[in-house]
Homo-oligomer: A and B are copies of this chain.
Amino acid sequence: MANVQIEELRKKLDEINDNLLDLINERAEIVQQIGRVKKTQGMNRFDPVRERKMLDMISEKNEGPFETSTLQHIFKEIFKASLELQEDDHRKALLV
């Protein structure tokens, strides 16, 4: 019985993982677009004020069960990876 319950919960978890995967990649595409616009303007890709604002929004909207600090840590990893992606794009552009 417990195994059936766990299997069902894991199925839900797999669906959420799929959605997360799609959403994180969709986010990355938008970050790439922002990077391209910024590049044409000679703007700096890293914007600490904007990053702070996104972290504050997590704090405002979080209803748990995760602690805000935990979520902010996860999002910081996503931000870092996104910045690296923009830098890769930039390097590739320089090599063209």
In contact, B66 and A24 (Cβ under 8 angstroms): yes
Partner of A23, one of B19, B38, B62: B19
Copies of this chain in its oligomeric complex = 2
Q: Point out the residues of chain B lying under 8 angstroms from A14, CB to CB.
A: 54, 57
Partner of A58, one of B6, B12, B17: B17
Interface size class of A (residues with CB under 8 A): 35 or more
Chain B residues with CB under 8 A of A31 = 13
Mark A residues whose CB is within 8 Å of B: 2, 5-6, 9-10, 12-14, 16-21, 23-34, 37-38, 40-41, 43, 50, 54, 57-58, 61-66, 70-71, 73-75, 77-78, 81, 84-85
